[in-house]
């Protein structure tokens, strides 16, 4: 099984588990960029989710049969604007990072509410909007994220909700 097939299969498994656990989610990160803008290489799955710690244990329990093994961090990693709970999945001698971005702030909760359903890689998936993807990427402020933001502006500039971007950029203290 190739890397792309492994990623697609694991995305489908993770989404089925989240739906079975009734966890609200939206695809974010590189896969959301691929779904909304243009395909690009990524080897992780980033999901914005509403999650309780007890729900994580249930999610992990349900994910275990679909992988060879998994390792979950003991606690979420705290970044400037977001907490991320990382789970490393192993399947077919491949490692896949699953980053669960916890929707704890008003911005993250709003982004989750605004997510749109799309067909991506043959899977029905909720994906953050272009504007929310841009704000998430600006918050991360890594070189690849900033390149993605510039490309989104270049490709979709006239279609973007500028008022929404300004509103949340001001609240989040983004440039």
Question: What domains lie within the chain, and their CATH numbers?
Answer: 3-129 (3.30.460.40)
Structure tokens at 94: 């491949």
Least confident of 50-64, 120-134, 158-172: 50-64
Query: What are the tens digits of pLDDT across the range 16-40?
Result: 999 999 999 999 999 999 999 999 8
Structure tokens at 130: 């272009």
Average pLDDT, integer, range 146-169: 97
For residue 4, pLDDT beyond 60: no
> Closest Cα to residue 82, out of 33, 155, 137?
137
Structure tokens at 104: 């704890």
pLDDT at 81: 83
Query: What are the tens digits of pLDDT across the range 32-61?
Result: 999 999 998 888 999 999 987 668 889 999
Highest mean pLDDT among 79-83, 93-97, 108-112: 108-112
> Closest Cα to residue 125, out of 43, 42, 4, 13?
13
For residue 2, pLDDT beyond 90: no
Query: pLDDT tier at 1 (50, 70, 90 boundaries)?
Result: very low
């Amino acid at each position: 099984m190739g890397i792309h097939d492994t990623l697609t299969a694991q995305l489908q498994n993770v989404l089925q588990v989240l739906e079975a656990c009734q966890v609200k989610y939206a695809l974010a990160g590189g896969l959301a960029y691929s779904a909304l803008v243009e395909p690009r290489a990524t080897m992780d799955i980033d999901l914005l989710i509403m999650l309780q710690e007890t729900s994580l244990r249930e999610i992990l329990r349900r994910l275990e049969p679909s992988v060879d093994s998994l390792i979950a961090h003991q606690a979420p990693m705290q970044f400037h604007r977001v907490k991320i709970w990382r789970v490393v999945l192993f399947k077919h001698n491949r490692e896949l990072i699953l980053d669960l971005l916890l929707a704890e702030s008003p911005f993250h909760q709003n982004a989750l509410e605004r997510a749109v359903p799309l067909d991506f890689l043959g899977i029905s998936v909720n994906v953050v909007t272009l504007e929310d993807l841009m704000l998430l990427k600006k918050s991360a402020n890594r070189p690849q994220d900033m390149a993605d933001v510039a490309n989104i502006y270049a490709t979709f500039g006239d279609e973007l909700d500028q008022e929404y971007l300004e509103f949340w950029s001001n609240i989040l203290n983004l440039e």
